[in-house]
Amino acid sequence: MSITIAVPKETANGEKRVAVVPSVLKQFTKLGVEVRIQRGAGESAGFPDELYEGVSWADDQAALYKDADVVLRVEPPSADEAGKLPEKSLLLGFLTPHEGDTRIRNLNKRRVTSFALELVPRITRAQGIDALSSQANIAGYKCALLASHLSPKLFPMLTTAAGTVRPARVVVVGAGVAGLQAIATAKRLGAIVEAYDVRSATREQVESLGGKFIDTGVSAEGEGGYARELTDEEKAQQAEVLARHIAQADAVVTTASIPGRPAPTIIDRATVERMKAGAVIVDMAAETGGNCELTEAGKEITHQGVIIAGPRHIPSMAATHASEMYARNLVNLLGLIIKDGEIHLDWDDQVLADSCLTHDGETRHAPTRERMEGDK
């Protein structure tokens, strides 16, 4: 009997994406697997059921999971849902290994082999599986757009009979995948863009997109493409130089994050109060505590004339394309697991070994296991 892939409707509040989109179905056929989808799973991403051809359907999660071999998700299952996954099945998706220990214990109780997309190594061979990057790309685009949408100014220069409007000044903080796409998008709209990242190696990338790199004199290269945490003194120096640039900005997009940790505070209240009336801050890190001290996750607030947006579920703002890119990431990962229509787990493959969270009743990801054992 062939492998059955199950695709649930996402259950997290505000999540609009879906793990499988119609355009990747032919890849599943090539892999020699069957696809079973929960009715309505793709609807909020712009993929009504009728667009999925050659799949079978389930009315609810229970029917979906019955005898399924692999479950593909976007967001992690709730602890309760994790406890209802098919026994010994495979689970692929974002799994936030740094939190949700009951979920992880339930995965182990069900002897689920789970692969967390957050743990996929950032090596060349795994680029097509790098869902953090594909989703960050979308998020950076959407946050730059949100900033321009909320701004009472135009981003482009406009020369009209009623005089010239000068281009907006945009500051992007954090020049990872999201930050670079925010820079590119603000540039497309005609803004003057300055950008900052603690990793000074990003200067070249910022400049290649037409942005100006803000030099604070502080560098903090870290591992895995992320920044290390800064000392207090470095933070103060960085903050003051940045604050001067931010105070002049018409829009600021912040994208600084440290995986599994609260987001660093980059813009404090005093800096907000130095900004111009009508300036906009879009804080991409709102869900992990925010890069701005005043950010409220899921809200748009105004503080002394400065508009501060802390959007949640940002990739869901472009749910169609975010799902498409995510689905391709999953299919590429699945391609390392399924050979000739059968599941074959090659633990010598670095991608599988690194990204495996749980297997055969055990937490395989060492930092997660150690944290959970420390919590006992």
Which residues would be at the binding site for a second copy (CB under 8 A)?
16, 43, 45-48, 127-128, 130-131, 133-134, 137-138, 141, 145-146, 148-149, 151-154, 156, 158, 160-163, 165, 185, 188-190, 276-278, 305, 317-321, 324-326, 328-329, 332
**Quick one: how far is CA 88 from the chain centroid?**
28
Which pair of structure tokens corresponds to residue 208? 């290649």
Residue placing its CB nearer to a second copy in the complex, 103 or 142: 142
Residue number, 89 or 185, with CB nearest to a second copy: 185
Q: Residues 6 or more apart from 111 whose CB is under 8 A from it?
A: 87, 88, 360, 361
Comparing CB distances to a second copy, the nearer of 58 and 146 is: 146
Nearer residue to a second copy within complex by CB, 189 or 337: 189
Q: Which of 244, 251, 301, 294 is nearest to 274 (CA)?
A: 244
Given the complex with a second copy, which of 83 and 121 has the nearer CB atom? 121
In the residue annotation, 127 being an active-site residue is answered as yes
Set 127, 208, 304, 350: catalytic member: 127
Least gap, CB of 71 to a second copy (angstroms) = 20
Locate 114 and state its tokens: 């789970």
Choice among 39, 122, 274, 371 that is catalytic: 122
Spatial distance between the Cα atoms of 214 and 199, rounded to a whole number of angstroms: 11
Q: 97-102, long-range: CB within 8 Å, 24+ apart, which pairs? A: 97/260, 97/357, 97/365, 97/367, 97/368, 98/259, 98/260, 98/368, 98/371, 99/260, 100/76, 101/372, 101/375
Q: Shortest Cβ distance from residue 264 to a second copy (Å)?
A: 26
Closer CB to a second copy, residue 151 or residue 295?
151
Q: Give me the least distance between CB of 331 and a second copy, in Å please.
A: 10
Clarify whether 130 is annotated catalytic: yes
Given 114, 133, 151, 181, which residue is catalytic? Answer: 133
Beta bridge partners of 251: 170, 280
CB 42 within 8 A of CB 10: no
Minimum distance between the CB of residue 21 and a second copy, rounded to whole angstroms? 11
| Smallest gap from residue 152 Cβ to a second copy (A) | 4
Question: Which residue among 52, 141, 196, 226 is the active-site one?
Answer: 226
Q: Which is catalytic among the residues 44, 65, 130, 238? A: 130
Nearest to 111 by CA among 148, 145, 83: 83
Strands 338-339, 306-309: pairing kind: unpaired
Closest to 128 (Cα-Cα) out of 331, 364, 337, 356: 331
Q: Which of 281, 249, 247 is nearest to 146 (CA)?
A: 281
Smallest distance, a second copy to C-beta of residue 346, A: 21
Residues with a catalytic annotation lie at: 122, 127, 130, 133, 226
